[in-house]
Amino acid sequence: MTEHTQQTDPQGRLKHFLTTEGLNHTLLTSILDHAENFAGVENRPVKKVPLLRGKTVVNLFFEASTRTRTTFELAAKRLSADVLNLNIATSATSKGETLRDTLRTLEAMHCDMFIVRHANSGAAHYITTQVAPHISVINAGDGRHAHPTQAMLDMFTIRKHKGDFAPLKVAIVGDISHSRVARSEIHALNTLGVTEVRVVGPATLIPKDVESLGVHVFNDMSAGLEGVDVVMMLRLQRERMSDALLPSAHEFFNRYGLTEKRLKVAKKDAIVMHPGPINRGVEIESNIADSSRSVILQQVSHGIAVRMAVMAMCMQGNTEGIES
């Protein structure tokens, strides 16, 4: 059984959310539609719905990420779930207890969902093979492999601004090779039917086989941005680079940093995105990041609604009466 077929139950409902790869148009659109329903919760006096009341969600982060962990925690609490944040650095796994033992201990506490972030690709998928059948697993980023909820909050942001995906041309710019976000974005964009996905960056930061994912490769920034509707800048993954793939961050900005001049070749109403955190003056200049064309802060806000949608959908097989 392949990874993506394990994400759904026999009825085709979302059971785990490990990757955008292999999920069909209907299911990705359903995530966006559920998120639309949840987006209004933040405007209520009491920012909660009772869908996951009585359920326990564990943030199982083996790799630090304050932004992602916080939005998952907020999403779970707005669904009325109980939340456990497990600090792996001080947990029993650092004292010799195996991951399997840790999972069994959490199961004994009657936990229902694990949000997993790990530096190793495939970690979330491995955990699905080790947990009890009633537990859902959501991948919050694994190695260079996938970051599916980031991709879906970006799809939600694009749909908010552009409506239909079909006519869109999207450029993903920067460190494609080391980016789990880029892979998840490419799969989601192609499944949702955009006209074209472009990846833009130096040859040293673009995988040789990336065209097989259904993208066009550009090593020239101006050519890559010409006529696009969406510009997705990626964070320069300097901590994941073991080789001298770039002369310097300064040189990267000179060739691939997003500036007002470079943005002029995109469509006039093109939006600018970035998964964060931003390296200002490396991937993007501040006046673009803070401009009216930037939707970077909106991405963060939308992340809560999208993660609420994914968590609710993953739990629907085990929760009576879940509706959006």
Q: What is the distance between the alpha carbons of residues 175 and 234, in angstroms, rounded to a whole number?
A: 6
Do both 186 and 268 map to the same domain?
Answer: yes
Structure confidence at residue 316 (pLDDT): 84
Note the pTM of the prediction, 2 decimals.
0.91
Structure confidence at residue 46 (pLDDT): 81
Structure confidence at residue 239 (pLDDT): 56
Structure confidence at residue 243 (pLDDT): 58
Please count the structural domains in the chain: 2
Do both 85 and 179 map to the same domain?
Answer: no
Do both 181 and 122 map to the same domain?
Answer: no
Do both 127 and 186 map to the same domain?
Answer: no
Low-confidence ranges of the chain (pLDDT < 50): 1-5, 92, 240, 319-324
Q: What are 44's two structure tokens?
A: 């209520």
Do both 142 and 227 map to the same domain?
Answer: no
Structure confidence at residue 16 (pLDDT): 96
Residue 321, domain member (yes or no): no
Q: Residues near 125 by Cβ (< 8 Å), separated by ≥ 6?
A: 3, 6, 18, 139, 142
Rounded to a whole number of angstroms, the CA Rg of the chain reads: 19
Residue 239, domain member (yes or no): yes
Do both 135 and 153 map to the same domain?
Answer: no
**Residues of the domain holding 237:** 148-300
Q: Residues 289, 268, 303, 236: is their CA dihedral positive or negative?
A: negative
Q: Give the β-pairing of 169-173 and 196-200.
A: parallel
Residue 320, domain member (yes or no): no
Q: CB of 53 within 8 A of CB of 108? A: no
Do both 139 and 177 map to the same domain?
Answer: no
Residue 324, domain member (yes or no): no
Do both 164 and 93 map to the same domain?
Answer: no
Residue 87, domain member (yes or no): yes
* Residue 281, domain CATH: 3.40.50.1370
Do both 173 and 121 map to the same domain?
Answer: no
Q: What is the distance between the alpha carbons of residues 130 and 61, in angstroms, rounded to a whole number?
A: 17
Do both 136 and 175 map to the same domain?
Answer: no
Residue 322, domain member (yes or no): no
Structure confidence at residue 77 (pLDDT): 97
Q: What is the distance between the alpha carbons of residues 33 and 131, in angstroms, rounded to a whole number?
A: 29
